[in-house]
Amino acid sequence: MEQLEGDVVRKRKKYPKLCEIPFNSINKYQISIHLMPDDKCLLVMKGAPEKVLDHCGSILRDGEVMSMTPLHLKPVKKIHHHFGE
C-alpha cells in the first residue's frame, strides 16, 4: 500500500481516526471517521457493495454533489451483478 499511497504512517498522523465500526460478517461493512486538517470530519465506509449503496443518498459527479437516483444506481448494480456471477 505504501508504494501506492506514500508514507502511510505520516498520513495516519495527519488524518487521525476518531472512531470506527469494525467490519463483521453481519453488517458486511466497516466505517471509520477521521479528523481532517480543517477540523472537519471524513467518514470512510467500505464493504459489500449492496450494503454500502444502502447507505448512500448522494453522489459526487463532475465536482458537484447531487442526489442519487435509480438512474445513477442502474449502471452500478449492473457492474456489481456482472462481477458477482
If one compares 83 and 26, the residue with the highest pLDDT of the two is 26
Q: 4 pLDDT exceeds 70? A: no
What is the per-residue pLDDT across 8-56, written as a single tens digit (0 to 9) for each?
Answer: 888 889 999 999 999 999 999 999 999 999 999 999 999 998 899 888 8
Q: Which pLDDT value is given to residue 17?
A: 97
Question: Measured between alpha carbons, how far is 17 from 11 in angstroms, rounded to an integer?
Answer: 11
Q: Which pLDDT value is given to residue 73?
A: 87
Domain ranges within the chain, ordered by starting residue: 1-47, 56-85
Beta strands, E only, 3-77: 17-21, 29-35, 41-47, 58-61, 64-67
| pTM of this structure | 0.71
Question: Measured between alpha carbons, how far is 7 from 2 in angstroms, rounded to an integer?
Answer: 6
Average pLDDT over residues 61-72: 92
Question: Measured between alpha carbons, how far is 37 from 62 in angstroms, rounded to an integer?
Answer: 24
Q: Which pLDDT value is given to residue 41?
A: 96
Q: How far is CA 41 from CA 35, 48, 59, in A?
A: 5, 23, 18
